[in-house]
Amino acid sequence: MTNTALSDAVVVSQKKKWGQLALGLLCMISISSPQYVWALFTRPLMEKLNAPLAEIQITFSILIILQTFFSPIQGKLIDRFGPRKLIAVGTVLTGLSWMLVARMESLMELYLYYVVLGGLGTGIVYIGVVGLMVRWFPEKRGFATGMVAAGYGMGAVLTTFPITSSLAAKGLENTLWQFGLIMAVVGFIASQGLRAPQASTAQSADVPHNVSSKNFTSREMLRQPLFWLMFVMMTMMSTSGLMVTSQMAIFAGDFGITSVTVLGMAALPLAMTIDRFMNGLTRPVCGYISDRIGREKMMFIAFGLEGCAMTLWLLCKDDPLLFVLLSGLVFFGWGEIFSLFPATLTDTFGTRFATANYGWLYISQGIGSIFGGPLAALLYQHTSSWGLVFACAITLDIVCALLALLVLKPWRSRFIQQLKVNI
């Protein structure tokens, strides 16, 4: 191949990469609302079904459990049948789940539709898109996974105020039906352009020196204690973040925030909109920085930031303006786990089986949803105070920050060096 032809091939490959990133981002935006606007539905669902908070919150937790616990299987299916078909199915299932919930009359129907269909649908899309990005961008994994994860974390910015307004004007049923249809249509159209990269494309870039020289299968990876350290750390961070995501509307009401305005806007939806923006922004920003300073250093900074911000948040809970601003800082310190952990995992255990491998790590999100959802709600009900719940989340943040710098960093460095020696 001539130099000119090679140069043209590189340009085409680069265009394909960025096109795939844009489509993956749109797919993630289309499935973001079931998790990130859930707090808006808790009280309407409690009233409609005459059910207590803990029973309603089971919906959120099992949603993430199904979204995550089936992800290894979903990753294998995507690797086998290709991203376009499976991700298209996932987007349709996600939208359909809301449309069916609009017609439900019982808790069991809520669990079946919102949890089973929604959990499986969002899980397929999330794992599939992240798995694609770590393969398309081997030299910029932190940034690429951060961008598509930002679509998942930030996408609800587009729906928070519209859903809030729709709930007030049209009610729960019409809101779920209309937005479910929009999610299904947008996601399905975007998924039709997704493609897996050719092996030469995935390996053509200059890969950093701190990346594994071996492609571990999932079975091989699960035998490595280093994987389980990452698993525990992601579980800890998921617990603290999902406690805030799932309970925010409830503790904001207890703090007196839902009845006040900030800068002329209702405080709770304003805080949730800022949160979604910061939760999305942190993913590509921290991923980009981690591509340069190292994953573990960025983890230490971000996890420690969340712990400190959450402490100030609790201390300033009576100030509506500080509540809104600090909530954004809390989410900025949490959302980056969805760029840092998949990038770190693929750096450590290779690219070839990245989709299925991340599926195993993503199960930690489901475990975190149990601790951060119904168990946190039960702890609050038994203590009648959010103080202990926040204390647990803050402790997890600080401990995880220290683990990243003092344990994960040296351990992973030794692991990769040993692999190079054994080649």
- In tens, the pLDDT along 355-380 reads 889 889 989 988 888 888 778 888 88
CB 113 within 8 A of CB 104: yes
> Averaged over 188-202, what is the pLDDT?
79
Q: Between the CA atoms of 341, 347, 353 and 354, what dihedral angle is there, to the nearest 10 degrees?
A: 30
- In tens, the pLDDT along 22-81 reads 999 999 999 988 887 887 888 888 888 888 877 887 887 788 778 888 888 888 888 778
Q: Cα-flanking dihedrals φ and ψ of residue 212, to 5°?
A: -60, 140
Residue 82: partners with Cβ closer than 8 Å, 6 or more residues away = 195, 196
Q: What is the pLDDT of residue 10?
A: 44
Dist CA 5 CA 96 (whole Å): 46
Is the CA virtual torsion 82, 228, 236, 333 positive or negative?
negative
- Show the tokens assigned to 187: 């996601």
**Residue 299: which region, alpha, beta or left (left: phi > 0; alpha: psi -120 to 50)?**
alpha
**How far does CA 162 lie from the centroid of its chain?**
22
What three-state secondary structure class fits 351?
coil
- Show the tokens assigned to 209: 């020196």
How much of the chain, in percent, has pLDDT values that exceed 90?
35
**How far does CA 254 lie from the centroid of its chain?**
27
> Averaged over 138-156, what is the pLDDT?
84
Q: Which of 70-84, 139-153, 209-223, 252-266 has the lowest mean pLDDT?
A: 252-266
- Show the tokens assigned to 361: 């790590």
Q: What is the pLDDT of residue 9?
A: 42
Q: What is the pLDDT of residue 209?
A: 56
- In tens, the pLDDT along 241-261 reads 888 877 777 787 778 777 777
User: Which residue blocks in 70-192 are alpha helix, DSSP H?
Assistant: 71-81, 83-101, 107-110, 118-136, 141-154, 157-191
Look at residue 270 and tell me whether its pLDDT is greater than 90: no
> Averaged over 316-328, what is the pLDDT?
86
Burial of 172 from C-beta contacts in 10 A (0-12 / 13-18 / 19+): middle
Span between the terminal Cα atoms of the chain, in Å: 31
Q: Of residues 47 and 185, which shows the higher confidence score?
A: 185
CB 125 within 8 A of CB 222: no
Dist CA 333 CA 134 (whole Å): 22
> Averaged over 93-101, what is the pLDDT?
94
